[in-house]
Amino acid sequence: MSTPFDRIRRFLDDQQPPTPCLVVDVDTAADRYRALAAAFGPATRIQYAVKANPEPAVLRALRAEGASFDVASPAEIDLCLAAGARADTLSYGNTVKKPSAIAMAHAAGVREFACEATDDLENIARHAPGAEVSVRLLVDPPASVTPFGRKFGCAPDEAAALLVRAAELGLDPAGISFHVGSQQLDPAAWDGAIALAAKVATDAAARGARPRRLNVGGGLGVSYTDQAPPVTAYAAALRSALHAHFPGEAPALVLEPGRAVVAEAGLIRCEAVLVTRKSAMDPHRWVYLDIGRYNGLAETENEAIAYRFEPVGEHTPDDGPVIIAGPTCDGDDVLYQRTPYRLPLSLRSGDRLDILAAGAYTASYSSVAFNGIEPLRTYCISGGRLISAE
């Protein structure tokens, strides 16, 4: 069976671009979007989280599939519009924004803004009069692989008050939003948050503000070294939580996947620059790659995301334990020293490796030039052929 990784590998083997590089198969991103849309049904609005991978070719492919977009900044608005997205399919999901950013978004035609604080709400009323507002709720979900902590959202009482205040300010108190943490492998994690949102909705409705949408964020997991549940399991769990906690008229569901759309569409090819032992007695080898935390693998911080590595070419079946590190002179640029990884004993300096499912939260996180190392290059393919290179 042909997998997206096969198409990417064929491209890499043919073209041999310099490593490290990320190749994104935009057909796979479109496939994943379609699978989500099918699992959640036409009543669910799917807003792709642009931050996961803002490549123009990815945005164009998703726009063609009918996706909406979750944007974090004026620059992401520009990217989506340049990719042909209609402004009314964009949602300004960042609750931290300057008045100038709100005014820019409003002038561009963006109608919906996330909000979690009175100051921001008043800025929205001033610079985007009449806008739809989605109030972000602080929730306390089960742990995810990369949790949000308490950074975003406000307490339930505050959320209801903001919806009411939005209406008073002439804004449309359209929705409630929350996020249960990125790479959330437990489909039941949304249940408590949906219950809390239902309480806020009831409370706000009693005071005349009736949110009609429920934005349950992203967070759907993908398979790295761990196996993620299928999309259909998330859809079933969310549907059942919605029915349980909104026994009357349920709000329309909004989903903001990033990783679940684009991670499995990408593969990074890199090189083992150095394979060595610190001493003859060292039980494990240190494998230093030409990619690390500062040029694409930022999500290895605290070893959160454990990527799947596959050596390229022929190797012995025998393997041994390794510590995997990046190419900068920075002591923090070690990818995995606690997570047990094994690589072939035949691996040598100069050998190449593939990092699977690396399409999300990689290239856009790259540093501009830390240690003089350039940001991760991205090549986008469709139909197996190159359609863009940056």
Question: Which positions are catalytic?
Answer: 329
Site for a second copy in 163-192 (CB under 8 A): 181-182
Taking the least distance from each CB to a second copy, the nearer of 35 and 306 is 306
87 contacts a second copy (rule: CB under 8 A): no
CA angle at residue 167 from 161 to 172, to 5 degrees?
115
Binder among 126, 243, 278, 342 for a second copy (CB under 8 A): 278
Q: In whole angstroms, how far apart are CA 74 and each of 81, 90, 377?
A: 11, 11, 23
In the window 306-335, what residues touch a second copy (CB under 8 A)? Answer: 325, 327-334
Smallest separation (angstroms) from a second copy to the CB of 55 = 11
Rounded distance between C-alpha atoms, residue 277 and residue 164, angstroms: 63
Q: How far is CA 173 from CA 30, 126, 192, 219, 330, in A?
A: 32, 15, 22, 24, 47
**How far from the centroid of its chain's Cα atoms is residue 149's Cα?**
16
Binding status of residue 359 toward a second copy by CB under 8 A:
no
**Cβ distance 336 to 324 under 8 Å?**
yes
Q: Is 221 in the site for a second copy (CB under 8 A)?
A: no
The four Cα atoms 28, 30, 35, 40 give a dihedral, to 10 degrees, of 150
Contact predicate 383/27, CB 8 Å: yes
Note whether 119 binds a second copy by CB under 8 A.
yes
User: Which of these segments, 6-14, 43-51, 225-233, 313-321, binds a second copy (CB under 8 A)?
Assistant: 43-51
Does residue number 368 form part of the binding site for a second copy (CB under 8 A)? yes
* Listed ranges 83-91, 104-112, 163-171, 346-354: which one lies at the site for a second copy (CB under 8 A): 346-354
Query: In whole angstroms, how close is the CB of 317 to a second copy at the nearest point?
Result: 23
Does residue 65 touch a second copy according to CB under 8 A? no
Q: Which residues ranging from 286 to 305 are in contact with a second copy (CB under 8 A)?
A: 286, 288, 290, 294, 298, 301
- State the helix-helix crossing angle for 190-206 and 156-168, rounded to 10 degrees: 40
The answer to whether the CB of 289 falls within 8 A of the CB of 327 is yes
By CB under 8 A, tell whether 20 contacts a second copy.
Answer: no
Question: Quick one: 50 or 194, whose CB is closer to a second copy?
Answer: 50
Answer yes or no whether residue 91 interacts with a second copy by CB under 8 A: no
Task: Tell me whether residue 72 or residue 241 sits nearer to a second copy (CB atom).
Answer: 72
Q: What tokens does 48 get?
A: 């792709």
| 140 near a second copy, rule: CB under 8 A | no
Secondary element (H or E) of residue 63: helix 56-65
Q: Does the footprint of a second copy cover residue 271 (CB under 8 A)?
A: yes
Segment near a second copy (CB under 8 A); pick from 190-198, 206-214, 338-346, 364-372: 364-372
User: Which residue type occupies 88?
Assistant: D
Q: Interface with a second copy by CB under 8 A: which range of 24-32, 199-207, 222-230, 343-351? A: 343-351
CB of 388 to a second copy, least distance (A): 16
Q: Is 252 exposed, middle or buried (0-12, 13-18, 19+ CB in 10 A)?
A: middle
**Interacting positions 98-117 with a second copy (CB under 8 A):** 98-99, 116-117
Check residue 74 for interaction with a second copy (CB under 8 A): yes
What single-letter amino acid sits at 228?
A: A
Considering only 53, 73, 134, 215, the residue that binds a second copy (CB under 8 A) is 73
Q: Which of residues 233-262 bind a second copy (CB under 8 A)?
A: none
Whether the ω angle into residue 74 lies within 30 degrees of 0, i.e. cis, is: no
**Closest CB 44 distance from a second copy, rounded Å:** 21
Q: Which residue has the tokens 């080898």?
A: 285
- Selected range binding a second copy among 25-33, 230-238, 311-319, 371-379, rule: CB under 8 A: 371-379
Where does residue 44 rank: exposed (0-12), middle (13-18), buried (19+ CB within 10 A)? middle
